[in-house]
């Protein structure tokens, strides 16, 4: 179905079927947006203008830069060295902006597949006058925090990059999202340059998307852990499924952002701007209430597991809902799966419990129960034994309730929809206690 031969990656027939289903859904949406005129060259250019400095700031932030999008704009547009930060971060911002500008120019040539000469040119802009700009490395490198060891010699790097280039040219007609994923992951796998490989790979992934008429995607600092873990799985076992999921999620997110960007340009209304500020405050309350719930669940479970030498680890994802996504779920629309937190329970001699709490829009039941008001809800997932998607709905095995939501602007009043569709109102502490109890109960029953 997808020709991934001669790459480090393979997909089973079942995984390919799942990928095709997701890809078909994305391409159907893209086709609809194009027919409506929303996905035109102008709207993509406008969207890139809206997101330009956010894209630079987030890509650099994954590599450790502390500059915000606003500070990045000052650095790029005014040439200002941001006080309180290492001047190198300002230089990195300016360099990456130049590289991404060149990416948008290269994307206009739809007939030329991405090759090594384009890589060298973009990398040269990324590193500027620094040693190794636009030149494949001759030194060994080790990727911090990764088990994978990239090729050690220049000859090995060159051979793998020639394979990378050959695949790009031979498979230029593959769907752009597939090309973006493979070329991006493969680049990070080879790590062909001394520095700048991550930023380059993210830029090249966007080159593939923009060239095919998609808006660029932004992998944000808050997703760094998910991003690094997905790349590690592709490095160590050739398992590219988690990275495919992440990129598909970000593509869907960029399509939502593009639609909203197009709408904003139609008119400006001061009253609507005031509402916008209020909505931002409501989103902050929601984020705080979710973090508090997760923290209390962790505390309650850990306290009970101490007696049996068990542990409970909760991993929070920073700001899982973008503001645009928040507006979408409040309107009852689906958004790319936004991870709120994961929770893992381990007890010697017992089954491990792993859950993911993710955010979606309210169900029809809770929408009706709360006087037809929209808003975000928490849902539960568990690890998928088939691997793709990585997490699947927990349905009847959700701890205590299958859906959790709170009234807009009220972070300590939760409404839980149970498996029989009944609804119970609880405080944060009460809800956390019920979830903790159910998780511990499941340790003895889950297979």
Bridge partner list, 405? 377, 415
- What per-residue confidence (pLDDT) applies to 268? 46
Give CA separation, 421 vs 364, 402, 424, in Å. Answer: 11, 9, 10
User: How far is residue 266's CA from residue 154's CA, in Å, rounded to a whole number?
Assistant: 53
Which of 94, 88, 61 minimizes the C-alpha distance to 75? Answer: 94
CA torsion angle 330 335 337 340 (round to 10): -30
| Statement: the pTM of the whole predicted model exceeds 0.85 | no
261 neighbors 50 (Cβ within 8 angstroms): yes
User: How far is residue 361's CA from residue 336's CA, in Å, rounded to a whole number?
Assistant: 11
24 neighbors 31 (Cβ within 8 angstroms): no
User: How far is residue 369's CA from residue 175's CA, in Å, rounded to a whole number?
Assistant: 43
259 neighbors 38 (Cβ within 8 angstroms): yes
- What per-residue confidence (pLDDT) applies to 269? 52
What are the domain boundaries of the chain? 13-264, 270-443
Which of 115, 239, 116, 243 minimizes the C-alpha distance to 177? Answer: 243
Which of 174, 204, 243 minimizes the C-alpha distance to 104? Answer: 204
- Overall size of the chain counted in residues: 447
In angstroms, how far is the first alpha carbon of the chain from the final one? 33
317 neighbors 340 (Cβ within 8 angstroms): yes
Q: In the numeric block, which tokens belong to residue 214?
A: 């998609």
Contacts of 228 (CB under 8 A, 6+ apart): 145, 146
Residues 166-177 as b or e (16 or more Cβ within 10 Å = b): ebbeebeebbbb
pLDDT tens for the 447 residues of the chain, in order: 678 888 989 888 888 888 999 999 999 888 888 887 778 888 888 888 888 999 999 999 999 999 999 999 999 998 888 888 899 999 999 999 999 999 999 999 988 999 999 999 999 999 988 889 999 999 988 877 677 889 999 999 999 999 999 999 999 999 999 999 999 999 999 999 999 999 999 999 999 999 998 999 999 988 898 899 999 999 887 899 999 999 999 999 898 888 777 776 655 455 555 667 788 888 999 999 999 999 999 999 999 999 899 999 999 987 778 788 888 888 888 777 688 999 999 999 888 899 999 999 999 999 999 998 899 999 999 988 877 788 888 877 899 999 999 987 777 899 999 999 999 999 999 999 999 999 999 887 755
Cis peptide before 417 (omega within 30 of 0): no
Contacts of 137 (CB under 8 A, 6+ apart): 154, 157, 191, 192, 193, 194
User: How far is residue 216's CA from residue 255's CA, in Å, rounded to a whole number?
Assistant: 9
User: How far is residue 180's CA from residue 212's CA, in Å, rounded to a whole number?
Assistant: 10
SS3 call for 418 = coil
Helix extents (H) in 140-223: 154-170, 176-190, 197-211
- What per-residue confidence (pLDDT) applies to 47? 82
| Long-range contacts (CB closer than 8 Å, 24 or more residues apart) made by 407-413 | 407/370, 407/373, 407/375, 408/282, 408/286, 408/330, 408/373, 408/375, 409/281, 409/282, 409/285, 410/285, 411/285, 411/286, 411/288, 411/289, 411/292, 412/289
SS3 call for 445 = coil
CATH architecture of 13-264: Orthogonal Bundle (1.10)
């Amino acid at each position: 179905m997808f020709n991934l031969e001669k790459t480090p990656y393979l997909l089973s027939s079942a995984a390919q079927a799942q990928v095709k289903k997701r890809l078909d859904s994305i391409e159907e949406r893209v086709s609809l947006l194009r027919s409506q005129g929303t996905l035109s060259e102008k709207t993509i250019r406008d969207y890139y203008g809206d997101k330009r400095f956010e894209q630079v700031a987030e890509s650099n932030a994954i590599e450790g830069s502390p500059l915000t999008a606003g500070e990045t704009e000052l650095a790029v547009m005014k040439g200002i060295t941001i006080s309180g930060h290492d001047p190198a971060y300002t230089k990195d911002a300016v360099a990456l902006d130049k590289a991404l500008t060149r990416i948008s120019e290269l994307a206009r040539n739809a007939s030329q597949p991405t090759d090594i000469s384009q890589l060298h040119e973009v990398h040269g802009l990324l590193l500027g006058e620094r040693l190794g700009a636009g030149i494949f490395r001759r030194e060994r490198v080790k990727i911090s925090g990764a088990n994978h060891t990239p090729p050690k010699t220049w000859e090995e790097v060159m051979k793998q990059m020639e394979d990378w280039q050959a695949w790009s040219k031979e498979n230029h007609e593959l769907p752009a999202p597939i090309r973006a994923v493979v070329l991006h992951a493969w680049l990070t796998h080879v790590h062909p340059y001394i520095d700048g490989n991550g930023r380059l790979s993210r830029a090249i992934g966007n080159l593939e998307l923009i060239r095919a008429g998609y808006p660029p995607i932004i992998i944000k600092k808050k997703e760094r852990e998910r991003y690094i873990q997905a790349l590690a799985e592709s490095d160590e076992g050739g398992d590219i499924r988690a990275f495919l999921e992440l990129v598909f999620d970000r593509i869907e997110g960029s399509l939502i952002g593009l639609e909203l960007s197009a709408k904003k340009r139609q008119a400006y209304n001061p009253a609507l701007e005031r509402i916008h500020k209020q909505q931002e405050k409501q989103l902050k309350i929601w984020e705080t209430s979710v973090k508090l719930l997760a923290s209390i669940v962790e505390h309650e479970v850990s306290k009970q597991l101490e007696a049996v030498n068990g542990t409970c680890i909760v991993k929070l994802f920073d700001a899982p809902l973008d503001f645009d996504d928040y507006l979408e779920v409040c309107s009852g629309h689906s958004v790319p799966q936004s991870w709120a937190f994961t929770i893992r329970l381990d007890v010697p001699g017992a089954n491990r419990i792993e859950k993911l709490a993710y955010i979606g829009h309210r169900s029809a039941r809770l929408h009706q129960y709360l006087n037809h008001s929209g808003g975000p809800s928490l849902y539960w997932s568990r690890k998928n034994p088939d691997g793709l998607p990585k997490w699947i709905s927990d349905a009847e095995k959700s701890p205590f309730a299958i859906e959790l939501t709170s009234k807009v602007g009220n972070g300590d009043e939760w409404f839980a929809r149970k498996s029989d569709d009944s609804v119970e109102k609880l405080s944060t502490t009460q809800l956390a206690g019920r979830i903790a109890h159910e998780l511990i109960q499941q340790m003895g029953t889950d297979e």
